[in-house]
């Protein structure tokens, strides 16, 4: 008999700033969370098989979602073979006002800088080759 392990969702009182910052220090998890936080409804894990032009193996993606869930950042629900994930931004906003908005804003700024830097490097290589 195949028994599914229960999903761990900490109560909002058990969510800590340190836990949030630790989990979001990983750039892939930060990108996943930014996407989830900006979406209207639940998203399935397979929507995130490509993050920042990188393919993410399913097993690694499962580990990222587990870390996000255990830090209290997302709520996950099994529906058949799919896992539906939603952010807990509203709950975290009540516990730590402004924290998530500040983190997501910083992530957005950093992502824009990285994108411009990568484009600049590609353009520089084209100039050297051509």
- Own/partner pairs, 28-32, CB within 8 angstroms, 24+ separation: 28/52, 28/54, 28/56, 28/64, 29/64, 29/67, 29/68, 30/103, 30/107, 31/107, 31/111, 32/64, 32/65, 32/68
Give the chain's mean pLDDT. Answer: 87
d(CA 71, CA 15): 6
How much is the pLDDT for 36? 94
Give the mean pLDDT of 3-25. Answer: 91
Tokens representing 29 are: 């998890």
Query: For the ranges 10-14, 57-61, 120-124, which has the lowest average pLDDT?
Result: 120-124
For the cut 90, the answer to whether the pLDDT of residue 105 exceeds it is: yes
Query: What is the pTM for the complete model shown?
Result: 0.82
Predicted local distance difference test score (pLDDT) of residue 33: 96
Q: What structural domains does the chain harbor?
A: 12-129 (1.10.10.10)
């Amino acid at each position: 008999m195949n028994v599914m392990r229960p999903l761990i969702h900490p109560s909002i009182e058990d969510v800590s700033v340190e836990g949030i910052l630790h989990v979001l220090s990983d750039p892939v998890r930060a990108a996943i969370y930014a996407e989830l936080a900006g979406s209207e409804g639940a998203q399935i894990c397979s929507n995130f098989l490509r993050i920042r032009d990188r393919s993410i193996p399913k097993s690694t993606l499962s580990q990222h979602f587990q870390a996000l869930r255990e830090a209290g950042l997302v709520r996950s629900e099994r529906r058949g073979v799919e896992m539906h994930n939603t952010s807990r931004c509203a709950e975290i906003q009540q516990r730590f006002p402004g924290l998530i908005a500040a983190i997501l804003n910083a992530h957005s700024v950093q992502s824009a800088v990285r994108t411009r830097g990568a484009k600049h490097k590609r353009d520089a290589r084209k100039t050297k080759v051509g």
